[in-house]
Amino acid sequence: MNSLRKLFLEKIKKQLAEELNLDNICSAPELKKITINVSSSDFKTDKDILAKTIEWVSLITGQTPQVTRAKKSIAGFNLRENDPVGVMVTLRGNRMYDFFQKLVTIVLPQVKDFQGVPLSGFDGRGNYNLGLSEQIIFPEVEYDKIGKISGLTISLTINARDDQSGKTLLTHLGMPFAKS
């Protein structure tokens, strides 16, 4: 079992229940899934960039991503139905905790002039969204093999009631928030 998951189940869950004044330890907020999404308009014209993106996303997540396609044609965007528009992967269980631990301890400290992640990433229901502008900050990604520098969106889905309990959970898990 992942060390972060083990720490969460043994210690952090009890601390959260006490800190948030919850009657039942099972009602403490917990991380449900992490979704990584990469999109580009170049996917429909350059199949090589799409293949390389699938490759580096699978390297950083440990799971083969799914290609997302356009549901309908939009002439203003020069988009046809079924054109590839993105690549996404959903992580749960041990892979989710492995990715989160790598994100917090290795990847985020490599961001240039890193002052912490912004608190504005919460959505009102305790979920947190984070955008990274370059994929080369992940240690598995080799600059020569990626084809093109692109960003990615990371969505942390938490079963919290509000943003404060989601923030409390992420703080206990080690997420470095910016000082306000």
- Pair type for strands 31-39 and 128-132: unpaired
Domain extent listing, the chain: 30-173
Q: What pTM does this model have?
A: 0.89
pLDDT at 156: 95
The 10s digit of each residue's pLDDT in 134-167 is 888 888 888 877 778 888 999 999 998 889 999 9
Q: Which residues, other chains included, contact 131 with Cβ-Cβ below 8 Å and sequence gap of 6+? A: 151, 152, 153, 154
Mean pLDDT of the residues in the chain? 88
φ/ψ (deg, to 5) at 79: -125, 135
pLDDT at 58: 92
pLDDT at 180 over 80: no
Second CATH level (architecture) for the domain 30-173: 2-Layer Sandwich (3.30)
Average pLDDT over residues 61-67: 93
